[in-house]
Structure 1
Amino acid sequence: MKHRIVRLTWLTVVLGLIAAPLMAERNRIPSLESIPDVCSERPDEPDWMENIALRDAYQRVLVQDIYRAQSMEWIVETGSCDCSVRFPTWDTAEDAFRKNHAGADRSEMLQASDTYNRRANELRPQAQAICEAAGNW
């Protein structure tokens, strides 16, 4: 009988040690309605981008990459990380897409995405430093 009580006690302790972190981890699961920590009033993507067919998603990705690269460039050029600089309207990214890439095929758009991503990644450390100083990263 004593052996059974000791086993149950150890089992309870072990289960408690396993379950506690799992319960804590469960409380950290983000909701689907996440609110950004900075610049919560961000402009929405254009409707056509949100409703684009899956087979054409690379077009949406290209516009997103243009947007990100432009944002990083503007932060570095202006030395400002105001929300309107970090998260501008989508107009200029859409314009750049239409003027420079609308007639391109999928392969060309994927190459353009790669170019914009590389540019944004080059500028990211400078932009991050500016934004961290402004409390906006």
Structure 2
Amino acid sequence: MTRALALACSFLLMSGTIASAERNLVPTLDNQPDVCPDQPPEPDWMRDTEARDAYKRLLVQQIYRFQSMGRIVDAQSCTCATRYPSWEAAEAVYFDRYSAADYWSVVEATSDYRRRANDLRKQAMPICEAAGNW
């Protein structure tokens, strides 16, 4: 009986401590990047995409990332302008090739761009680290 009472008291004490700790967690709404703080925002149409169409937004993000890694490797430079240009080129690829595509085609293209960006990332990362932009 004493053991059960001790367990119950421990549980109450711990749950109060956890609840108190959770109240101290305050989410930050400031989404300031660590590098290149003047990164261009995503286009409005991407931010306003409905949840059911989020896969389209993800594709444009992966196209942008792939293009970014490619520019860094091609230029052998990781300036903020090289790494984070406007979204126009990524949007153009999306609208030219994928805006009318079905769901599975977009998912497949997203996977392909992610893989290609990851391959280029291995070459781009040391360039950006040397420039202090990683």
Q: Give the TM-score range, shorter chain.
A: 0.7 to 0.9
Structure 2 counterpart of 1:81: 78
Instruction: Report the residue type matching 1:63 in the other structure.
Output: V
Query: What is the TM-score when the length of structure 2 is the normalising length?
Result: 0.79
Percent of paired sites with the same residue = 49
List structure 1 segments (4+ residues) > 6 angstroms apart after TM superposition: none
Name which one, 1 or 2, has greater alpha-carbon Rg: 1
1:126 matches 2:110: no
Query: Does residue 51 of the first structure (1) align with residue 48 of the second (2)?
Result: yes
**Which SS does the other structure have where 1:45 is aligned?**
coil
For structure 2, the 5+ residue unaligned runs are 1-13
Distance in 2 (CA, whole Å) between partners of 1:39 and 1:111 is: 30
Q: What corresponds to 2:3 in structure 1?
A: none
Deviation at 1:37, TM superposition (A): 1.6
Partners of 2:36 and 2:97 lie apart in 1 by: 29
Normalising by structure 1, we get a TM-score of 0.78
1:60 — aligned with what? 57
Cα RMSD (Å) of the superposition?
A: 1.9
AA partner of residue 83 (structure 1): C
- Which amino acid is the alignment partner of residue 109 of structure 1? V
Does residue 90 of the first structure (1) align with residue 83 of the second (2)?
no
Q: Which amino acid aligns with 2:45?
A: W
The CA deviation at 1:30 is 6.3
What is the aligned residue count? 115
